[in-house]
């Protein structure tokens, strides 16, 4: 029932919106808004001022030096003759010479000397039909007209708000515009490629975009010939007394002199980059399309999405209008479309709210007739607002459902394992925090199969133990819920599996590696006791000592590694160079016995790191001890301490046998098979301790094998702060 009511309201809004937009387009209701957007285009379009155009301005300084206006025409003749020496391409003289004077002949001489020079005239005004002229054309006197290369109109086309935005070459009858004559002369190909249409929008350049010189400087010969050679000179007045100023778009300077306005028209003609008004049918289609699309979206999306779509529609319509203007030069005013979007959103919101309000009121009445269905939240009373009473009762029902839903959701969210409730279509309708963490995003309302594929589980859900590509191990179990779907549980047993593997490796280590030295000792003793003499030779004693020492070292490494896994690390400033010196002292005797030299290169002997002093020293001792143990007789071990940003790095470099293949990729893996310097089995517990110690202190380790066979082990720890 509610959907049917909303559909009727929607159809009414569609009809009303279509009529509103159509009336707005035909009546140009949004012209002020459209003009603001059009006027701002000068601010974002790239500058395109033609270097061939140069303004010769009759400014305040020229009036002060030459005299009050109007000047004798001999002054203009002198300026033209000075300009002629530089051989400009053409001259447009935006000054009316209508009345005959005694100096017309002198001015005509200047025109012929500077030819071609084009002068303005006043075309006769057309009648109401725009055909026959009601007044005669006003041209310069015959000597001047004959000497000029051509006469053209300099009239401008004003919009309804009095601003000049458009160019109409034949504004008053058949008289061509002055700028059109100039383009025909200096660039016939450009004129043929882009002949001026009936009415075009001027792409204004920013104020001051065109080159300019003062009339007085030109007349006095202070302008270099090279500056104006081959240029199109536009003469005109810019002094405040001329009154030759026009309102132009604000982005072009608000007020513009007539000669600069002519320069903008000439520039657009030369480049053929006028903007064009599209016809009313195109504007109507452009305005109706986003409004109708938004109305269709109203039927499928909720209020918040519709608000976003409405705001996006305003942006897209404005951007599309600007893009069409800047790319292909079509101007489609967006104002009517914007008005339609705003009105449609407001109108639909009002009508939808009214329909929903009436529906809720009817539902409250129905609930009131059903006894014991909803406990009365508001005592029955003959006073008060009926709408408020019914709203409160409905609120009680919603509150009960919300509390029940929150209770279920809280239980689900607090489960330690990832749990998803999936409907019959395969979409997740509920999921807990652990599920969001497992899949790396919110799982609710997401299809299950893409979620599974995202963590490396493709295809259907299979119960049992699975291993993900990143190494995690999960146990999947499921249970069907009638009428809802399926509950799927993802139990993460990665840590349990890792602990199990660690136990197996530890048992293997205890059962084999740690037993091996002591088994060798027992074998040696049995061999001695079963002999004739029963005495222990020096060689046997040495071998027993070596095996016992190895067993003791393995036990110590294992205990240290096991303790570090669960130990609480208390960080404090540690002198890294001092810790290295202490480690060097501890291995000095062993290095001396093997004639191994230990060299230190400390770039900064005042590097303090944050860490546990005992762990830092033990890690350095392990690295340095390994380097000495594996170094050849008479070899060298180099220790270096450097600063790496916010870290301090201690590198131990030395010679040694090739890294076993099992450890070549990562020498710091514990319990990895390998051999020590004596060729006996080694499990790498010392290097594993170094890595764990570094990571427990927010550091890291590194290893690289150099082309010359040198091995470099590095431990990096965070620098201690001043605090």
- The answer to whether 271 touches 50, Cβ cutoff 8 Å, is yes
- The answer to whether 178 touches 153, Cβ cutoff 8 Å, is yes
Beta bridge partners of 422: 428, 486
Report the CATH number that the domain containing residue 503 is assigned in CATH. Answer: 1.10.287
Lowest mean per-residue pLDDT among 194-203, 217-226, 361-370: 361-370
465: tokens are 């133990």
Distance, in Å, from the CA atom of 500 to the CA atom of 494, rounded to the nearest integer, reads: 10
Task: Identify whether residues 78 and 202 lie together within a single domain.
Answer: yes
- The answer to whether 18 touches 336, Cβ cutoff 8 Å, is no
**Residue 9 within any structural domain of the chain:** yes
**Torsion from C-alpha of 102, 105, 109, 115, nearest 10 degrees:** 100
Between these two residues, 43 and 90, which has the higher pLDDT value? Answer: 90
Cβ neighbour number for residue 634 with a 10 Å cutoff: 9
Task: Identify whether residues 647 and 695 lie together within a single domain.
Answer: yes
Range list of β-strands (E), 318-374: 330-331
According to DSSP H, which parts of 28-99 are helical?
31-39, 41-44, 60-66, 73-85
Burial of 382 (0-12, 13-18, 19+ CB in 10 A): exposed
User: What percent of the chain has a predicted confidence (pLDDT) above 70?
Assistant: 78
Which residue has 């202190």 as its token pair?
697
Distance, in Å, from the CA atom of 218 to the CA atom of 213, rounded to the nearest integer, reads: 7
**Torsion from C-alpha of 96, 99, 105, 107, nearest 10 degrees:** -20
Angle at 510 between CA 506 and CA 512, to 5 degrees: 115
Which residue has 């001051």 as its token pair?
208
Sign of the torsion formed by the C-alpha atoms of 214, 220, 222 and 224: positive
Peptide bond into 435 cis (omega under 30): no
pLDDT band at residue 377 under the 50/70/90 scheme? very low
**Residue 317 within any structural domain of the chain:** yes
Chain centroid to CA 686 = 47
pLDDT at site 533: 56
Per residue in 14-40, pLDDT (tens digit) is 999 999 999 999 999 999 999 888 888
Task: Identify whether residues 242 and 116 lie together within a single domain.
Answer: yes
**Residue 365 within any structural domain of the chain:** no
pLDDT band at residue 4 under the 50/70/90 scheme? confident
Distance, in Å, from the CA atom of 649 to the CA atom of 643, rounded to the nearest integer, reads: 6
Domain of residue 378, residue span: 370-410
Report the CATH number that the domain containing residue 706 is assigned in CATH. Answer: 3.30.565.10
721: tokens are 């702060």
Task: Identify whether residues 421 and 351 lie together within a single domain.
Answer: no
Between these two residues, 519 and 439, which has the higher pLDDT value? Answer: 439
- Across all residues in the chain, what is the average pLDDT? 82
Single out the residue of 70, 7, 93, 274 nearest to residue 166, CA to CA.
Answer: 274
Burial of 490 (0-12, 13-18, 19+ CB in 10 A): buried
Angle at 465 between CA 463 and CA 469, to 5 degrees: 115
Q: Can you tell me the mean pLDDT for 219-232?
A: 91
Across the beta sheet with 636-644, the strand order is 597-602, 636-644, 647-654, 711-718, 700-705
Single out the residue of 49, 494, 504 nearest to residue 232, CA to CA.
Answer: 49
For the cut 50, the answer to whether the pLDDT of residue 187 exceeds it is: yes
Beta bridge partners of 457: none
Distance, in Å, from the CA atom of 98 to the CA atom of 63, rounded to the nearest integer, reads: 21
Distance, in Å, from the CA atom of 77 to the CA atom of 220, rounded to the nearest integer, reads: 13
Distance, in Å, from the CA atom of 413 to the CA atom of 406, rounded to the nearest integer, reads: 10
Single out the residue of 637, 552, 554 nearest to residue 594, CA to CA.
Answer: 637
Q: Please give the backbone phi and psi of residue 593, each rounded to the nearest 5 degrees, phi first.
A: -60, -35
**Residue 670 within any structural domain of the chain:** yes
**Residue 135 within any structural domain of the chain:** yes
Task: Identify whether residues 70 and 83 lie together within a single domain.
Answer: yes
In angstroms, how far apart are the furthest CA atoms of the chain?
A: 153
Q: Can you tell me the mean pLDDT for 63-79?
A: 90
Per residue in 265-314, pLDDT (tens digit) is 999 988 888 888 898 999 999 999 999 999 999 988 888 999 999 999 99
Cβ neighbour number for residue 543 with a 10 Å cutoff: 14
**Residue 654 within any structural domain of the chain:** yes
**Residue 209 within any structural domain of the chain:** yes
Single out the residue of 617, 560, 557, 561 nearest to residue 587, CA to CA.
Answer: 617
pLDDT at site 382: 44
Per residue in 115-168, pLDDT (tens digit) is 899 999 988 766 555 555 556 788 999 999 999 999 998 888 888 888 998 888
| Number of independent structural domains in the chain | 6
Distance, in Å, from the CA atom of 155 to the CA atom of 699, rounded to the nearest integer, reads: 79
Q: Which DSSP helix (H) or strand (E) runs through 451? A: helix 448-454
> Which among 437, 469, 492 is the end of a domain?
492
Task: Identify whether residues 428 and 438 lie together within a single domain.
Answer: yes
Task: Identify whether residues 260 and 214 lie together within a single domain.
Answer: yes
For the cut 90, the answer to whether the pLDDT of residue 648 exceeds it is: yes
Per residue in 603-635, pLDDT (tens digit) is 887 889 998 888 898 889 889 988 998 888 989
Between these two residues, 174 and 479, which has the higher pLDDT value? Answer: 479
Distance, in Å, from the CA atom of 546 to the CA atom of 349, rounded to the nearest integer, reads: 89
Task: Identify whether residues 405 and 377 lie together within a single domain.
Answer: yes
- 3 state SS of 287: helix
Q: Give the global pTM.
A: 0.50
pLDDT band at residue 88 under the 50/70/90 scheme? very high
Between these two residues, 187 and 316, which has the higher pLDDT value? Answer: 316
Distance, in Å, from the CA atom of 598 to the CA atom of 580, rounded to the nearest integer, reads: 11
Task: Identify whether residues 451 and 506 lie together within a single domain.
Answer: no
**Torsion from C-alpha of 561, 562, 566, 571, nearest 10 degrees:** -20
The number of CA neighbours under 13 Å toward the Cβ of 196 is 27
Q: Can you tell me the mean pLDDT for 208-217?
A: 91
**Total length of the chain:** 723
Task: Identify whether residues 322 and 445 lie together within a single domain.
Answer: no
479: tokens are 């249970």
Beta bridge partners of 161: none
Between these two residues, 553 and 574, which has the higher pLDDT value? Answer: 574
**Residue 296 within any structural domain of the chain:** yes
For the cut 90, the answer to whether the pLDDT of residue 510 exceeds it is: no
Report the CATH number that the domain containing residue 421 is assigned in CATH. Answer: 3.30.450.20
Distance, in Å, from the CA atom of 148 to the CA atom of 305, rounded to the nearest integer, reads: 67
Task: Identify whether residues 298 and 432 lie together within a single domain.
Answer: no
Task: Identify whether residues 600 and 669 lie together within a single domain.
Answer: yes
> What end-to-end distance do the CA atoms of the chain give, in Å?
70
Between these two residues, 28 and 666, which has the higher pLDDT value? Answer: 28
Tell me, letter by letter, the H, E, C secondary structure of 557-613: HHHHHHHHHHCCCCCEEEEHHHHHHHHHHHHHHHHHHCCCEEEEEECCCCCEEEECH
């Amino acid at each position: 029932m509610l959907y049917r009511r909303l559909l009727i309201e929607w159809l009414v809004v569609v009809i009303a919106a279509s009529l509103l937009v159509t009336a707005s387009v035909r009546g140009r209701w949004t012209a002020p808004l459209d003009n603001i957007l059009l006027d701002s285009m000068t601010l974002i379009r790239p500058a395109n001022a033609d270097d061939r155009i140069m303004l010769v301005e009759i400014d305040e300084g020229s009036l002060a030096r030459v005299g009050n206006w109007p000047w004798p025409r001999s002054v203009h003749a002198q300026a033209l003759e000075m300009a002629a020496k530089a051989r400009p391409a053409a001259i447009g003289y935006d000054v009316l010479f209508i009345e005959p004077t005694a100096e017309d002949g002198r001015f005509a001489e200047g025109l012929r000397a500077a030819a071609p020079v084009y002068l303005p005239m006043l075309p006769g005004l057309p009648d109401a039909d725009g055909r026959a002229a009601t007044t005669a054309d006003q041209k310069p006197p015959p000597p001047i007209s004959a000497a000029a290369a051509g006469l053209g109109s300099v009239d401008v086309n004003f919009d309804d708000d009095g601003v000049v935005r458009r160019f109409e070459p034949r504004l008053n009858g058949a008289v061509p515009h002055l700028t059109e004559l100039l383009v025909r002369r200096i660039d016939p190909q450009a004129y043929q490629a882009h002949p001026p249409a009936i009415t075009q929008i001027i792409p204004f350049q920013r104020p001051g975009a065109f080159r300019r010189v003062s009339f007085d400087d030109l007349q006095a010969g202070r302008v270099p010939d090279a500056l104006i050679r081959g240029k199109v000179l536009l003469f005109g007045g810019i002094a405040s007394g001329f009154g030759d100023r026009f309102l132009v778009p604000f982005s072009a300077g608000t007020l513009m002199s007539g000669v600069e306005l002519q320069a903008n028209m000439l520039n657009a003609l030369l480049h053929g980059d006028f903007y064009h008004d599209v016809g009313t049918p195109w504007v109507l289609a452009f305005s109706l399309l986003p409004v109708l699309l938004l109305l269709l979206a109203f039927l499928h999306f909720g209020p918040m999405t519709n608000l976003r779509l409405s705001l996006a529609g305003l942006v897209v319509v404005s951007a599309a209008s600007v893009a069409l203007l800047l790319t292909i030069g079509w101007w489609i005013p967006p104002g009517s479309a914007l008005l339609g979007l705003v009105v449609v959103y407001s109108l639909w919101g009002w009508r939808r709210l009214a329909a929903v309000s009436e529906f809720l009121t009817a539902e409250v009445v129905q609930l009131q007739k059903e006894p014991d269905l909803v406990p009365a939240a508001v005592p029955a009373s003959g006073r008060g607002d009926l709408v408020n009473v019914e709203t409160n009762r409905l609120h009680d029902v919603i509150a009960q459902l919300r509390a029940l839903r929150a209770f279920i959701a809280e239980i689900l969210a607090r489960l330690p394992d990832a749990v998803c409730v999936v409907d019959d279509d395969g979409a997740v309708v509920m999921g807990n925090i652990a599920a969001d963490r497992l899949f790396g995003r919110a799982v609710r309302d997401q299809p299950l199969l893409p979620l599974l594929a995202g963590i490396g589980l493709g295809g259907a859900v299979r119960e049992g133990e699975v291993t993900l590509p990143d190494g995690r191990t999960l146990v999947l179990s499921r249970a069907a819920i009638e009428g809802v779907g399926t509950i799927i549980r993802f139990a993460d047993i990665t840590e349990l599996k890792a602990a199990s593997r660690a136990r197996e490796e530890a048992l293997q280590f205890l059962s084999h590696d740690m037993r091996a030295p002591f088994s060798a000792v027992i074998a040696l003793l049995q061999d001695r006791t079963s002999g004739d003499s029963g005495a222990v030779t020096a060689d046997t004693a040495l071998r027993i000592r070596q095996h016992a020492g190895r067993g003791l070292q393995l036990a110590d490494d294992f205990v240290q590694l096991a303790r570090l896994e669960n130990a609480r690390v208390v960080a404090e400033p540690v002198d890294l160079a001092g810790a290295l010196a202490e480690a060097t002292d501890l291995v000095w005797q062993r290095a001396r016995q093997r004639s191994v030299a230990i060299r230190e290169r400390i770039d900064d002997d005042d590097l303090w790191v944050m860490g546990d002093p005992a762990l830092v020293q033990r890690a350095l001792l392990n690295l340095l001890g390994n380097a000495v143990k594996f170094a050849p007789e008479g070899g060298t071990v180099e220790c270096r301490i450097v600063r790496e940003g916010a870290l301090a790095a201690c590198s131990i470099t030395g010679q040694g046998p090739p890294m076993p293949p099992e450890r070549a990729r990562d020498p710091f893996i514990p319990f990895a098979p390998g051999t020590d310097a004596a060729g006996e089995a080694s499990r790498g517990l010392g290097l594993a301790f170094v890595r764990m110690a570094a990571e427990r202190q927010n550091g890291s380790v590194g290893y690289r094998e150099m082309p010359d066979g040198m091995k470099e082990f590095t431990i990096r720890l965070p620098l201690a702060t001043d605090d």
